[in-house]
Amino acid sequence: MKNKLYDMPIYMDYSATTPVDPRVAEKMIPFITEDFGNPASRSHPYGWTAEKAVENARKEIALLVNADPREIVWTSGATESNNLAIKGASNFYSKKGKHIITLATEHKAVIDAVRECERLGYEASYMEPEPNGLLDIEKFKSTIRSDTVLVSVMLVNNEIGVIQDIETIGNICRENNIIFHVDAAQATGKVKIDLEKLPVDLMSFSAHKTYGPKGVGALYVRRKPRIRIEPQMHGGGHERGMRSGTLATHQIVGMGEAFRIAREEMEEENKRIKNLQLKLLKGLTEIEETYVNGDLDKRVPHNLNISFNYVEGESLIMAIKGIAVSSGSACTSASLEPSYVLRALGRSDELAHSSIRFSIGRFTTDSDVEYTIALLKEKIDKLRELSPLWEMFKEGVDLEKVEWAEH
């Protein structure tokens, strides 16, 4: 998707945020203009119209993940959903125990919410995944303690796109009477989710990763068996007391429409995106010394994360200004630390530093992919020409064994 209006680079950063689908924007606009009511206003049609729209949207969220609309709680985004789920459930069930298990490769919103629980006296295990990014089930089992109250594992990883085995993990949680939370912000519209079958208690969703607007998300809270959470915001008692605050009708309508489109089109769309991913993978791995991060099979077609050895990460980003990609997750892109996710996979700092996340989506075209491959080939060649390390590697020097002189 080349944005000619602003002469913008080609957008290959769909995991950071997606464009709002024009159909979504169209649905939203009436709710910021004529149908502007407060859904909590009970005394006039402005309020009723807004409430009806909110409830229709709630049905759409439920339909995409095969849940009951009454199990969906609106929030301001996945960060709030994750905070509400983790702090809300661990707090409510704290009598069972004070141990929480999560993955070292979770999104910051999960990691930091768990850290906050630690500050409040909980203990936490941050499990290292296998080198392919997936959780080892046996290791997981042995991490469970009698006082484990909550497990939080993301369905699709934001940096490397790997899909965890939520069903198996959830069944183990059930056997051990542990509340199971899943961050599905990166999963909706990419993998099929059936909450009727999946043993998941709490699931976080975001709109702006699925062609909806920013500033709205949802939390699934299971009714059978009933899961309870302690609210994190108190006030007018909206959302059955679980989340107070005036509902942003137009945003909610946007999320509903985005999820409807996802439900109806994901199957066809994913086939197309899979082809683009294969093309991108083939083209980029023709470059020497490239390493794909994360499992290639258990992975969404929208993501490719590749380390280009013997290229300095920052110069690479500077060199490929014609495409908008990310090095590490957008939320932490501002920091120059190598990705904690890639480090958790056991990648060296050098390889983590020279990694690029390509994430593609609804508006990515064949020619976008072709342009990207050509650009990367050209720029990496140039950068390596300047690199003494590349020269040494080509001469057959084992860089691992080189003893570097101190400055």
Of residues 89-118, those binding other proteins (CB under 8 A): 107-109, 112-113, 115-116
From residue 227 to residue 246, the character string flagging contacts with other proteins as x (rule: CB under 8 A) and all else as - is -----xxxxxxx-----xxx
CA 229 – CA 252 distance, rounded (Å):
22
> Residue 43 is encoded by which pair of tokens?
């005394």
42-61: contacts with other proteins (CB under 8 A): 42-47
Which residues are bridge partners to 57 per DSSP? Answer: none
SS (H, E, C) 63-82: HHCCCCHHHEEEECCHHHHH
Residue 117 annotated among the catalytic residues of the structure: no
- The single residue among 18, 164, 307, 309 that binds other proteins, judged by CB under 8 A, is 18
Which residues are bridge partners to 183 per DSSP? Answer: 204
Write the CA distances from 15 to 88, 172, 293, 308, integer angstroms: 27, 29, 15, 20
Q: At CA 67, angle to CA 232 and CA 361, rounded to 5?
A: 90
Decide whether 134 or 304 has the Cβ nearer to other proteins: 304
Size of the site for other proteins (CB under 8 A): 78
Query: What phi and psi, each to the nearest 5 degrees, are found at residue 202?
Result: -135, 135
Decide whether 153 or 195 has the Cβ nearer to other proteins: 153
Is 333 near other proteins (CB under 8 A)? yes
From residue 341 to residue 380, the character string flagging contacts with other proteins as x (rule: CB under 8 A) and all else as - is ----------------------------------------
Is 6 near other proteins (CB under 8 A)? yes
Pairing between β-strand 10-11 and β-strand 355-359 as defined by DSSP bridges: unpaired
Decide whether 34 or 349 has the Cβ nearer to other proteins: 34
Cα 160 to chain centroid distance, Å, stands at: 10
CA 165 – CA 156 distance, rounded (Å):
10
From residue 300 to residue 329, the character string flagging contacts with other proteins as x (rule: CB under 8 A) and all else as - is -----------------x---x--xxxx-x
Write the CA distances from 51 to 27, 103, 308, integer angstroms: 15, 38, 51
- The single residue among 334, 388, 400, 403 that binds other proteins, judged by CB under 8 A, is 334
Point out the catalytic residue in the list 331, 375, 389, 392: 331
Largest CA distance in the chain: 80
202-221: contacts with other proteins (CB under 8 A): 206, 208, 213-216
From residue 137 to residue 176, the character string flagging contacts with other proteins as x (rule: CB under 8 A) and all else as - is ----------------------------------------
Q: Which are the catalytic amino acids?
A: 331
